[in-house]
Structure 1
Amino acid sequence: MPRQNYLFTSESVSEGHPDKVCDRISDEVVDLFFRESAKAGIDPYQVRVACETLATTNRVVIAGETRGPKLSPAIIEETARQAIKAIGYEQDGFHWANAKVEVLLHAQSVDIAQGVDAAGNKDEGAGDQGIMFGYACRETPELMPAPLYYSHKILEVLAKARHAREGDAAKLGPDAKSQVTVRYVDGKPVAATQIVLSTQHVDADLSSDDVRAIVEPYIRKTLPEHWISDKTIWHVNPTGKFVIGGPDGDTGLTGRKIIVDTYGGAAPHGGGAFSGKDPTKVDRSAAYAARYLAKNIVAADLADRVTIQLAYAIGYPEPLSIYIDTHGTGRVPEEKLELAVPQIMRLSPRGIRDHLQLNKPIYARTAAYGHFGRTPDADGGFSWEKTDLVDKLRASFN
């Protein structure tokens, strides 16, 4: 029997966090390759991108392997600059126009390509070995763990206010981190016991109390009613002044916030990052598929909480194993769910790409505020958040 009364904490980081700046640049490169491939008439199934970014004081290094349209380093550089500009960095130590950008992308290894590419009777294989997890629960309408969901929302709301130059929110900078500790009673989230927010500010004279006065109204509007009380403990800019932020204050790397990207520690993580990877990389696409299936199982009322694990070997199309755990909340046997899932959705890399329509420039928007618990977009973004398998899943058990 799982614990019913406990505290659980998750964190999030803003779009201007150094690691998220790198995730954004890497995903902008993925999107660029898909956009330019479409213009050049190149089959999107032939696009390959594995892009890593490092950022530090006025320096960005972009490295990795690609295949597809011939793109000049100047185009990649401009893509990075526009991403930094959109986030809002115009400070002396990290400025979109002044930072040195080095592009070190090269062709994908032919050894990897021969395992991944479809040929003759061979289907497209997984881009690497690994395990991927998906998760869903009833803690929020989006079927996400509450501590992470609200940690994301706090930063997303503050970023929107900052970009809109909404009152004193214009005094905030791009770099920020949040953390929410949630009290669970009878297995349900009921209150925020601790709220942590560290946010960069452009006005060096602001004290921690001044920053709290700016952000607290936004946080109160973001969290559920009655979650904040006089017993809630606040930690706003607990170290004091936070003027030097972003890659000028701390070096950033692609793929270093994988728990923030997924479920905030409420579910396992396979270890592979998402950003900078095209959907042949099952680290990304199979994690999206696992979330999609878990969310649909919960939405179909077959369980209240679900964890799914998928496993792959490089060059092989089908998953090596499918594991489903409903944590004692299932209304159908887990073994039958494991048999039903691959009948409803093909879980090869190509099957996932086809079903979720992943061969599109939809990735930069995933780089901040989580890859899951988002609203599906009309152009196919966040397609893995749809609940369009509910009827098929229910029919499997009638």
Structure 2
Amino acid sequence: MSEYLFTSESVSEGHPDKVADRVSDAIVDLYFSKDPQSRVAVETLVTTNRIVLAGEVRCAHDVTHDEIENAARAAVKSIGYEQDGFHWETAVLHNYIHAQSADIAMGVDNSADKQGEEGAGDQGIMFGYACNETEHLMPAPIAYSHEILEKLAAVRHGGDRRLEPDSKSQVTLKYKDGYPVGATSVVVSTQHAEGVTQAELKALVKDIVTEVLPEGWMPSDDELYVNPTGQFIIGGPDGDTGLTGRKIIVDTYGGAAPHGGGAFSGKDPTKVDRSAAYAARYLAKNVVAAGIADNCTIQLSYAIGVAKPLSVYVDLWGKVKVDSAKVSKALQELMDLSPTGIRTHLGLNKPIYERTAAYGHFGRLPDADGGFSWEKTDLTTALKAKLSL
């Protein structure tokens, strides 16, 4: 279609599922702070005054139950939960984390591919995507949905006692000839303290949305929906159970690109669900940043215990300056896409994961300590040289 509407949503760090993601990734970071070769697969469930941890780990150094509990509680405290129904200090915590399966360890560590390389931690398909709709080469609807909630959280962390941690956003943009030209509606639901009027909240949200959207993109006032149910006092894990890994579209591209199905949070980077999705984003972003295409989708696939990817698929969406097969070949020459190669190239064996748990794993700024390394565009010069551009 030459004209269409497209919608994406985001959820805040205080959404129950994101609380679970944050706790799981805090535990990943705890293990990596002890041993860069740690193996971690931890799931979290949060509900009314309960935090339940389960999963499999392996580490060269002891990690005590107290350290795990302290990491979980610190994550919840940082989000800001001090409610009667969910409090970082008083919630009951159940820890069912145990040693990693010997069968999984064998598949990853014992050179199942017979080439002396570490095998993938699981089978699966992973997708990466980039486009030139925004500065950080992300689809605009998810980028603006994230930014609205980040700014709302900044107001709350800045001391606005009217706001509580749980919130959601949704942005619908109008596209013409493949590019966004304006917003037709915005939805924001934010948990709030008792006694706060919906008029107050709408005024606050309207200021934030106006700041986030490009000039002239603001929808009409009757298309700005703030707490459509009328109030949102009971929220967070007290209002809805949260689980690790339930917000995979929020974590990636807002539905503008395919998703392989595997969640990221709670997993160390031997799990290609996480590391290969990061690698695919990294390569797709470099393709777009190099000016080779306006949009780029990359799919990688793996088998458990096998190091090399089974397939590397590149889609340049038809607007190409170079044949997709040549781009695929060049990318594989520039980056070793084995699990070990990905972790080495992107520096993933570090405690850099808790920060990824909210507001998207992509479209972020690379950090000096190696966080969000997959957002770098440092391959563009070499890529253009290989393609003679």
Q: What TM-score comes out, normalization by structure 1 length?
A: 0.95
Q: 1: CA distance between counterparts of 2:109 and 2:199?
A: 57
Instruction: Please show how residues 107-146 of structure 1 align to structure 2 within 5 Å.
Output: 107-119=99-111, 121-146=115-140
Deviation digits for residues 268-323 of structure 1 (CA, Å, limit 9, x no counterpart): 00000000000000000000000000000000111110000000000000100011
1:72 maps to a residue whose letter is: T
Instruction: Please show how residues 82-121 of structure 1 align to structure 2 within 5 Å.
Output: 82-119=74-111, 121=115
Residue from 19, 22, 25 that aligns with 2:20: 22
Residue from 2, 11, 14 that aligns with 1:13: 11
Deviation digits for residues 111-151 of structure 1 (CA, Å, limit 9, x no counterpart): 01111015585211100000000000010010000000000
1:219 maps to a residue whose letter is: V
Aligned to 1:341: 331
Q: 2: CA distance between counterparts of 1:211 and 1:83?
A: 27
Structure 1's consecutive aligned runs of 4 or more residues displaced over 3 angstroms after TM superposition are: 118-121, 229-232
Deviation at 1:86, TM superposition (A): 0.3
Which consecutive residues of structure 1, in runs of 5 or more, have no partner in the other structure? Answer: 38-43
- Give 3-state SS (helix, strand or coil) of 2:182's partner: strand
Deviation at 1:341, TM superposition (A): 1.2
The answer to whether the 8 A contact 2:11-2:359 is kept is yes
Aligned to 1:170: 161
Aligned to 2:384: 394
Identity of aligned residues (%): 64
Deviation at 1:232, TM superposition (A): 6.5
The answer to whether the 8 A contact 2:185-2:219 is kept is no
Q: Does 1:258 align with 2:256?
A: no
Residue from 162, 185, 207 that aligns with 1:217: 207
Which consecutive residues of structure 2, in runs of 5 or more, have no partner in the other structure? Answer: none
Deviation at 1:170, TM superposition (A): 3.0
Q: 2: CA distance between counterparts of 1:122 and 1:160?
A: 48
- Give 3-state SS (helix, strand or coil) of 1:170's partner: coil
Q: 1: CA distance between counterparts of 2:161 and 2:316?
A: 45
- Give 3-state SS (helix, strand or coil) of 1:342's partner: helix
Deviation digits for residues 82-122 of structure 1 (CA, Å, limit 9, x no counterpart): 11000000000000010001111111111011110155852
Aligned to 1:78: 70
- Give 3-state SS (helix, strand or coil) of 2:155's partner: helix
Instruction: Please show how residues 235-384 of structure 1 align to structure 2 within 5 Å.
Output: 235-384=225-374
Deviation at 1:209, TM superposition (A): 2.2
Aligned to 2:195: 205
CA RMSD, 1 decimal = 1.1
Q: 2: CA distance between counterparts of 1:117 and 1:376?
A: 30
Aligned to 2:180: 189
Deviation digits for residues 196-247 of structure 1 (CA, Å, limit 9, x no counterpart): 0000002x12232221012211111111111114376111000011111100
Deviation at 1:330, TM superposition (A): 1.6
The answer to whether the 8 A contact 1:295-1:385 is kept is yes
The answer to whether the 8 A contact 2:169-2:188 is kept is yes
1:28 maps to a residue whose letter is: A
Of 121-130 and 273-282, more deviation after overlay is shown by 121-130
Aligned CA distance change for structure 1 residues 240 and 229 (closer, same or farther; 3 Å): closer
- Give 3-state SS (helix, strand or coil) of 1:65's partner: strand
Deviation at 1:26, TM superposition (A): 0.2
Q: 2: CA distance between counterparts of 1:206 and 1:240?
A: 11
Q: 2: CA distance between counterparts of 1:344 and 1:185?
A: 35
Of 287-296 and 204-213, more deviation after overlay is shown by 204-213
The answer to whether the 8 A contact 1:19-1:252 is kept is yes
2:342 maps to a residue whose letter is: I
2:143 maps to a residue whose letter is: Y
The answer to whether the 8 A contact 1:161-1:170 is kept is no
Q: How many residues align?
A: 385
